[in-house]
Amino acid sequence: MNNGSDPLIRLSSVTKVFLTDEVETHALSGIHLDIRPGEYMSIAGPSGCGKTTLLSILGLLDTPSDGSYSLKGHEVANLSFADRARIRNREIGFIFQSFNLIGDLTVFENVELPLTYRGMAASERKSFVTEALDRVGMAHRAKHLPSQLSGGQQQRVAVARALAGRPAILLADEPTGNLDSRNGEAVMQLLKELHENGATICMVTHDERFAQHADRTVHLFDGRVVEDRMAA
Amino acid sequence: MNDLTFALRQLRKSPGFTFVAVLTLALGIGANTAIFSIVNAVLLRPLPYPDADRIMVLNESSGPGQDYSVALPDYFDWRNENTVFEHLAATHKESRNLSGIPGRDPERVSCASVTRNFFNIIGLPPELGRTFSQDEDKVGAPPVAVISDRVWRRVFNADPGVLGRSITLHDQNYTVTGVMPPQMTSPQDTDAWLSMMRRSNNPAWMDRSHHPMIYVWGKLKPGVTVDQARTEMKGIAARLEKTYPDTNGGETAVVTPLLDNLVGKYRTNLGLLFGAVGLVLLIACANLANLFAARGAARAREFAIHAAVGATRGQIIKKLLFESFLIALLGGALGFLFAVWVRSSLIALSPGDVSRFQQISFDLPVLGFTFLIASLTSVLFGLWPAWQASHADVQLALKTGSAGSGDPPSAKRARDWLVISEIALTLTLLVAASLVLKSFSKMQALQLGYEPRNLFSARVELPWKTYSSREKIGTFAKALLDKVTALPGVQSAGIGSNSPLMGGWQTGFWRDGAAQPTPAQMPSSDLEVVTGDYFSTFKTPLLRGRTFNDRDTKDSPRVVIVDQAMAEQYFPGEDPIGKRLFVDAGNDEEGNVPSEIVGVVARMRYHAVDEMAPLPLIYCSMAQAQRTSLCLFVRSSMSAASLSKSIRDVVASIDPNQPVFDARPMLDRVQETWGTHRLLSFLFSIFAGLALVLATIGLYGLLAYTTLKRVREIGIRLALGARPAQIRALVLSHGLQLLLIGSAIGLVAAFALSRALQNVLFEVKGIDPKIYFGVGALLSAATFFASWIPARRASRVNPVVAFRAE
Ligand SMILES: Nc1ncnc2c1ncn2[C@@H]1O[C@H](COP(=O)(O)OP(=O)(O)O)[C@@H](O)[C@H]1O
Ligand SMILES: [Mg+2]
């Protein structure tokens, strides 16, 4: 389905080579990928095929060895570390397999963190955080520490944190990997709702059942896109 | 595998860690050992005499800070009436010229006239010959001398034939009867002991109002305490006060143990140094505790495995304490070597007037001390980390990979507090060091009332037998001054008798017209006898009137010059010129003579700052006051060596029998009075510097460790869009927080310490905002320095770790 709107993200000929102990690992080779606003895309493939590497580059955590990356029409592949941080903060929301909440901070403070880095005023932050926690149904746990929550609840908070800054795209790396199937299902349900409300999502998953939630599935193998399939 | 092999293997496995830990401890323990070696040599080591703790020194006093020597008649009464002393001896220090030894130039030796029982008090038999007999210690007895081992070796090449030989001391022949063993040096570095009672008919000595530098030594009877002796001697003094109210009014007897008498005034200073260096060791321990805790955390899996295979908590603690102990022993050994290495510098820094400072050595007590504090520190820094490690989660052994979410909050807090206490202790030490330095600089900037630079001094002690009149002395003095002034490069020269900073005579006086006060009520002043261009050589301004001149002779009316303090205190609002004082110039059988004030000079500082309460000063002319101990002062910019040589040549050309001694720049004498302060300033600065370095390393270590532990968290923060500056701020603010809490606590401690220091400080009072500001700036700089590298490292964490490092 190509409705002709401008892509939110365009990767062209992106490669990523890691050099370790004089061994070159071609984690990604010649990736072309467009992601349009409002799309729900999943990335699948066997372990070691480059899924996380691709997500890191999409999230501006890492830079491609070669090729170009434009986000909202701007070239971002070769920006400075600090500029990439600024873009990450505004445009990207991360959801990690292991939740990655900060243990010393309360639920509220965890969700507030990206807004703090943006330099947002406290009152505004409070309304953004409350709204995000409401959307994932965790507002009643705002004062808790992550260690006082179950895994499913922690992942909901992590989703709230990703949402809080109203990013252009949510990137999720196996968000259900550390959850049992019931909690995994609940988180997938949450992502689906977010998508239905207009969020752009790019998710890495192993699980065929969860991949089917997405409109589009990209299969990676050995650092290349071997299949790019729209859902029916 | 036993614990020792295990511990050794562990230390060898991480040489970097072992090196840092051992070095830190070596600095801490080494500094403590060095200070202890001083404390041991000066305060603790017993005197080399049998039952030395029973030896007392007695003097008379009219109140605190107003101590003086003993009148000989008072000594006789003390000796007859007391029941607490086995022996009570009188001593009188004097300096004489030893001459008449074939092949040797005349030289000055330090002599003491002592009553024969003085040797019973010391309790050491002569190594050769005998001490005085009863018959040799009375008026009219033949002159005999007991010499020191030092003189015996130096002058007589240890010839046993010295017994019975005649030596000349100040132109009088003495027969040598004995040689004392080398450890016998009392009183104060004496080289020859002469009989005192031979001279007891000296009228000046038999006068009860005279305190002619006689000090009394006593040996307590076994079982008698110092307090008992004090009580009894006070009682005797009170009886004498009643019997002789004119001469003994207000006088009491003071009993001081010999060791206190020698080194008592250093007790506070050494105590302070010991305290300061103890704080440095505490800081080192805090560093090590954090270092060991970090290492324990890194080895958590290892301990978990030990626990999983059945090690009890106690066994794990024991293993780790063994490692700490080994490190402490290595640190102690290195520290000991380090202390041995700085020994000569310590001796060079020590105040020169106490020979016990020179005897710093590394004997068994010092080695024992080092071992003791090494063992103590190993528990101090090792116990907490070992206890922490023994609580490692057994589950860790079974999990793969996961490093755990971090240390428990209690451990984090403990680590923070260790660094906070380091900062607090460092601030305290920095403030203390600044106070001592400021006091030292005040002392150096002190207005002496004269210009000690380019001023050279040298002493001559004329034998009173040959130089028996004012004329003879005057001729010698005039020849000396004329010849010295004629030397090229010499601007002017003068002669004084006891002179600034050389300890001196006091005298009683009263104003003409007032009734003669009793000796007990008579005001005191310092008394100086001068000739030549004394004041211009010192560059001390004459404020009114004139200086002495050739018309002031033995037979002309007596004249004196007074200093400004005398003028202000005793002639307020009056012109003292032309007024008369009754002054005892110290001439035999003369007493107080009315003397006209002909001049007023600016105040010269005669005593070292901590020596005694300042007195007004009266100057007499050497033509009118007989003195045989002369100090020549020469204003010249020539080198000390060439002046010294020229002066010796000049003296030899006038009288080849007179040795010149103690020839050195006046600045030397001034600096000598700073001795204790210099030692304190130097060591306090070193300790404060060491503390600052250790605390900076400690803070750096903590932040670097924390950053390492937080890599993942920092990665997450970066992924969420934190900019590098925001991550740096995270680490810097942690450092700043520790600085602020540590400083707040340190300030309280610094206030308390400032108060304790007050007694040793010179003209530094209260709280100096400049010092606190400076110390604050220094600590802030150190904090920033320690935080910057971890902060930068944190901001460069690769955010991809948020995905990885599972
Ligand atoms: N930082 C790195 N250094 C070296 N090799 C890396 C690094 N990150 C990933 N790789 C390698 O790149 C390849 C792709 O890894 P990754 O993207 O993590 O795969 P996936 O997430 O699909 O399992 C693997 O061979 C991996 O070993
Ligand atoms: Mg992966």
* Plot region of B534 (φ>0 → left; ψ -120 to 50 → alpha; else → beta): alpha
Q: Give the list of residues 6+ apart from residue A4 with CB closer than 8 angstroms, or none.
A: none
How many CB atoms are closer than 10 A to CB A137? 13
- Give the whole-angstrom CA distance, residue B82 versus residue B235: 10
Chain B residues touching residue A105 (CB < 8 angstroms):
none
- Give the whole-angstrom CA distance, residue B664 versus residue B662: 6
Between the CA of A220 and the centroid of ligand 2 the distance, in Å, is 12
| A86 Cβ under 8 Å from any chain B Cβ | yes
Which residue, among B412, B706, B728, B803, would best test binding to A if mutated, counting the most A CBs under 10 Å from its CB?
B803
pLDDT-derived band at B611 (thresholds 50, 70, 90) equals low
| A52 Cβ under 8 Å from any chain B Cβ | yes
pLDDT at res. B398: 46
pLDDT-derived band at B388 (thresholds 50, 70, 90) equals confident
| A114 Cβ under 8 Å from any chain B Cβ | yes
Chain centroid to CA B426: how far?
24
Tokens 């006038």 -> residue: B654
Chain-chain contact of A56 with B800 (C-beta, under 8 angstroms): yes
| B686 Cβ under 8 Å from any chain A Cβ | no
- Give the whole-angstrom CA distance, residue B552 versus residue B474: 12
- B480-517: string of b/e by CB count within 10 Å (b at 16+)? bbebbbebeebebbbbbbbbbbbebbbbbbbeeeeeee
- Give the whole-angstrom CA distance, residue B619 versus residue B628: 16
Where are any strands of DSSP class E within B326-376? none
pLDDT at res. B499: 77
DSSP B657-717: T--EEEEEEHHHHHHHTTHHHHHHHHHHHHHHHHHHHHHHHHHHHHHHHHHHHTHHHHHHH
Q: Is B586 helix (H, G, I), strand (E, B) or coil?
A: coil
Provide mean pLDDT across the span B561-572: 89
Prior bond of A175 cis (ω within 30°): no
Q: Give the list of residues 6+ apart from residue B650 with CB closer than 8 angstroms, or none.
A: B480, B483, B484, B487
Chain centroid to CA B229: how far?
28
- Give the whole-angstrom CA distance, residue B95 versus residue B628: 11
- Give the whole-angstrom CA distance, residue B71 versus residue B79: 13
Chain-chain contact of A56 with B803 (C-beta, under 8 angstroms): yes
Where are any strands of DSSP class E within B140-179? 144-147, 166-169, 172-179
pLDDT at res. A1: 42
Provide mean pLDDT across the span B97-111: 84
DSSP B402-445: ---S---HHHHHHHHHHHHHHHHHHHHHHHHHHHHHHHHHHHHT
Q: Is B479 helix (H, G, I), strand (E, B) or coil?
A: helix
Q: What's the complex ipTM?
A: 0.88
| B134 Cβ under 8 Å from any chain A Cβ | no
| B724 Cβ under 8 Å from any chain A Cβ | yes
Helix B769-795 to helix B724-757 angle (10° resolution) is 150
| B717 Cβ under 8 Å from any chain A Cβ | yes
pLDDT-derived band at A8 (thresholds 50, 70, 90) equals very high
Helix (H) or strand (E) holding A161: helix A151-164
Whether residue B560 contacts residue B601, with contact meaning beta carbons closer than 8 Å, is answered with no
Which residue, among B706, B709, B711, B720, would best test binding to A if mutated, counting the most A CBs under 10 Å from its CB?
B720
- Give the whole-angstrom CA distance, residue B194 versus residue B172: 12
From the CA of A23, which ligand is nearest? 1
> Strands A40-44 and A216-221, how do they pair?
parallel
pLDDT at res. A4: 52
Atom of ligand 1 nearest to the CA of A53: 17
pLDDT digits (tens, 9 = 90+) for A146-157: 888 988 999 999
Q: Whose CA is nearest to atom 16 of ligand 1?
A: A50
Helix (H) or strand (E) holding B528: strand B524-532
Give the CA radius of gyration of chain B: 34
> Strands B629-636 and B542-545, how do they pair?
unpaired
- Give the whole-angstrom CA distance, residue B340 versus residue B358: 14
From the CA of A15, which ligand is nearest? 1
| B805 Cβ under 8 Å from any chain A Cβ | no
pLDDT-derived band at B733 (thresholds 50, 70, 90) equals very high
Helix B267-298 to helix B675-709 angle (10° resolution) is 10
- Give the whole-angstrom CA distance, residue B622 versus residue B546: 16
Cross-strand partners of B219: B55, B87
- Which among A18, A49, A56 is the best mutation to test ligand 1's pocket, defined by most ligand atoms within 8 Å of the CB? A18
pLDDT at res. B680: 86
pLDDT digits (tens, 9 = 90+) for B211-242: 888 899 999 999 889 999 899 899 988 888 88
pLDDT digits (tens, 9 = 90+) for B497-512: 887 877 777 788 888 8
- Residue B309: CA atoms inside 13 Å, Cβ hemisphere, count? 6
- Give the whole-angstrom CA distance, residue A132 versus residue B485: 99
pLDDT at res. B612: 55
Provide mean pLDDT across the span A213-220: 90
pLDDT digits (tens, 9 = 90+) for B396-446: 544 433 333 456 777 888 889 999 999 999 999 999 889 988 888 888 877
**Which residue among B405, B717, B721 places its CB closest to the CB of A86?**
B721
Closest CA to B386 of B319, B470, B332: B319
**Which residue type does B500 have?**
P
Between the CA of A131 and the centroid of ligand 1 the distance, in Å, is 36
- Domains of chain A listed by start with CATH number: 9-230 (3.40.50.300)
**Which residue among B406, B713, B723 places its CB closest to the CB of A85?**
B723
Q: Whose CA is nearest to atom 25 of ligand 1?
A: A48
pLDDT at res. B69: 86
**Residue of A80 and B405 predicted with greater confidence:** A80
Between the CA of B702 and the centroid of ligand 2 the distance, in Å, is 33
pLDDT digits (tens, 9 = 90+) for B464-487: 778 888 888 889 999 999 998 998
**Residue of B234 and B805 predicted with greater confidence:** B234
Provide mean pLDDT across the span B571-599: 85
- Give the whole-angstrom CA distance, residue B21 versus residue B733: 27
To the nearest whole angstrom, how far is the Cα of B29 from the nearest Cα of chain A?
38
Between the CA of A48 and the centroid of ligand 1 the distance, in Å, is 6
From the CA of A98, which ligand is nearest? 2
Q: Is B215 helix (H, G, I), strand (E, B) or coil?
A: strand
pLDDT at res. B661: 87
CA angle, A70 then A72 then A75, to 5°? 30
Chain-chain contact of A113 with B719 (C-beta, under 8 angstroms): no
**Which residue among A59, A86, A102 places its CB closest to the CB of B716?**
A102
pLDDT digits (tens, 9 = 90+) for B299-321: 877 777 777 677 778 888 888 88
* Plot region of A60 (φ>0 → left; ψ -120 to 50 → alpha; else → beta): left
Residue B8 has pLDDT above 70, yes or no: yes
- Give the whole-angstrom CA distance, residue B32 versus residue B43: 16
To the nearest whole angstrom, how far is the Cα of B700 from the nearest Cα of chain A?
22
* Local structure of residue B42 (DSSP, 8 states): I
- Give the whole-angstrom CA distance, residue B121 versus residue B125: 11
* A97: closest chain B residue by CA: B803
To the nearest whole angstrom, how far is the Cα of A127 from the nearest Cα of chain B?
19
pLDDT at res. B193: 92
**Which residue among B718, B721, B803 places its CB closest to the CB of A96?**
B803
pLDDT digits (tens, 9 = 90+) for B685-702: 999 999 999 999 989 988
Let me know how many helices (H) and strands (E) chain B has, helices first.
24, 22
pLDDT at res. B28: 92
**Residue of A120 and B503 predicted with greater confidence:** A120
| B800 Cβ under 8 Å from any chain A Cβ | yes
Residue B35 has pLDDT above 50, yes or no: yes
Task: Please state, rounded to an integer, the average pLDDT across all residues of chain B.
Answer: 86
- Give the whole-angstrom CA distance, residue A179 versus residue A189: 14
| A34 Cβ under 8 Å from any chain B Cβ | no
Cα end-to-end span (Å), chain A: 10
Helix B313-349 to helix B364-390 angle (10° resolution) is 150
From the CA of A96, which ligand is nearest? 2
Helix B675-709 to helix B724-757 angle (10° resolution) is 150
Residue A111 has pLDDT above 90, yes or no: yes
- Give the whole-angstrom CA distance, residue B283 versus residue B701: 13
**Which stretch of A76-90, B78-92, B763-777 has the lowest confidence by average pLDDT?**
B763-777
- Give the whole-angstrom CA distance, residue B742 versus residue B416: 10
Atom of ligand 1 nearest to the CA of B803: 18
Between the CA of B793 and the centroid of ligand 2 the distance, in Å, is 26
> Strands B524-532 and B542-545, how do they pair?
unpaired
Report CA torsion sign: B717, B722, B723, B729: negative
Q: Give the binding-site residues of ligand 1, using a 6 Å CB cut-off.
A: A 18, 20, 25, 27, 45, 47-53
pLDDT at res. B103: 79
Residue B394 has pLDDT above 70, yes or no: no
Chain-chain contact of A114 with B721 (C-beta, under 8 angstroms): yes
